[in-house]
Amino acid sequence: MTILITAVAFFLLITGLILIHELGHFFAARWAGVEVEEFGFGLPPRAKSLFRWKGTIFSFNWIPFGGFVRLKGEGAIEESERDAPGSFASTGIAKRCVILVAGVTMNFLLAMCIFFYGFAVGGWIPTYLSLDEMEDAASRGEIAMHLAVVIDDVLAGGTALDAGVLAGSILYAVDDVPVSRPDDVVKLQQGKSSVTYTYAAGPDDAPTTVRVAVEDGKTGVYLRTVPMEVTAPRRGPGEAFLLSIRETSVVTEQTVLGIARLFSSLAQRGVVPEGVTGIVGIAQLTYTSVQGGAAVYFRLVALLSLSLAILNILPFPALDGGRLLFVLSELFIRPGSRRVELITNTVGFGVLLFVIILVTLYDVFRLFS
């Protein structure tokens, strides 16, 4: 049953995000006076024409993922057809720019709406990139958290290993004094020949105590601070809105860095870096999010909606950002041959397809490795 639910959730995720993107193009084109010849559910070839509305054919297509919008004159090569009344090229530069960025805008708005609802109603925890950021947020009242000391590693030959202390344990207290930072442990061990550790293998395990010898203030453990329990207070609409803006900004920045890391790694070493995933990885994330519940799933929807928006606005041929560059270039130079633009976009699409296939192959390799 979980597999079936995951399949449905994955289909709704991918198709929903693309259709929302295409709806942005559709409504912007209608506003700009550009004729929309077809709005397709799924990808060609066409299986059936569903209905016609205000000159637009709404169709169902055989490849059941995503969708598309076909604007009048969009793929035309001949200038007379390309510049015909009601075509994309016949409208002004400003309106064409609006049409091209409308899809990206819809994906950004969707993500922000999901974040707003999550922060206002769901008690979501914002994304923080460091413990210092989390502590600053706690001081502002954005979150409440309980810090704990984790024993990252137990060194061979150290007194902690001799005492039976396990790596990965949570250290609650030293000599019955609660600790939340490695510095607390260091101070409590100074000048002593032995101390009592109160620790547990995990947060759900009962604490145990053990006597550990101290040599030169050390017991042979690596320690780090982790937030063991993080909660969010009830938030009003204003605070939730500001947090949704912050979350969108943080995720956008990290996504841009991830895309840059991908192309840099491909160019320099020919490998897909860790943390970059494709369609197979998204399917795995969907499976995990379904198990985590609705809140986890919708947070994934928001993250992928932002990723789709950022990817599309990149100034790369075949993407909305690349097409936007061609339109903006008309501010400075006379429009060139339509054939050149089509060839450039075709080559760009081929490069993107190659990268997608490569990332997918890496996803499959990691899945079975």
pLDDT over 90 at 352, yes or no: no
Question: What are the domain boundaries of the chain?
Answer: 2-35+72-125+240-368, 144-231
Alpha carbon distance 199, 62 (integer Å): 59
CA angle (219, 224, 228) in 5-degree steps: 125
Query: Considering Cα of 8, then 13, then 18, then 20, what sign does the dihedral take?
Result: positive
Which residues have CB under 8 Å from 106's CB, separation 6+? 20, 21, 23, 24
- Quick one: which of 25, 28, 57, 24 has its CA closest to 40? 57
Nearest to 126 by CA among 302, 264, 307: 302
Q: What pLDDT band is residue 337 in, cutting at 50, 70 and 90?
A: low
Predicted confidence at residue 101, as pLDDT, reads: 96
pLDDT tens for each residue of 159-209 = 988 888 888 899 999 999 999 889 999 999 998 999 999 988 888 788 889
For tokens 């397809």, name the residue. Answer: 353
Select the more confidently predicted residue: 25 or 266.
Answer: 25
The predicted-structure confidence for 315-332, as pLDDT tens digits, reads as follows: 888 889 989 998 888 888
Determine the residue type at 150.
V
Burial class (CB in 10 A: 0-12, 13-18, 19+), 302: buried
- What value does the mean pLDDT take over residues 69-83? 80
Place of tokens 């810090």: 147
What does the alpha-carbon distance between residue 282 and residue 304 come to, in Å, rounded to a whole number?
9
What is the average per-residue pLDDT within 216-224? 89
> pTM, whole model, 2 decimals?
0.84
Contact present, 312 and 104 (Cβ < 8 Å): yes
- What is the C-alpha radius of gyration for the chain, rounded to an integer number of angstroms? 27
Q: 33 — phi, psi (to 5°)? A: 85, 15
Please determine, for residue 6, whether its predicted confidence score (pLDDT) is greater than 90. Answer: no
Alpha helices in the chain (DSSP H): 2-32, 79-82, 93-120, 131-140, 159-162, 182-189, 237-268, 279-292, 294-313, 320-329, 338-368
Q: Which CATH superfamily is domain 144-231 in?
A: PDZ domain (2.30.42.10)
User: Mean pLDDT over residues 87-114, rounded?
Assistant: 94
Q: Look up residue 44 and give its two tokens.
A: 């060609």
Burial-class residue 320 by CB neighbours within 10 Å (0-12, 13-18, 19+).
buried
Q: What percent of the chain has pLDDT over 70?
A: 98
User: What pLDDT was estimated at residue 12?
Assistant: 87
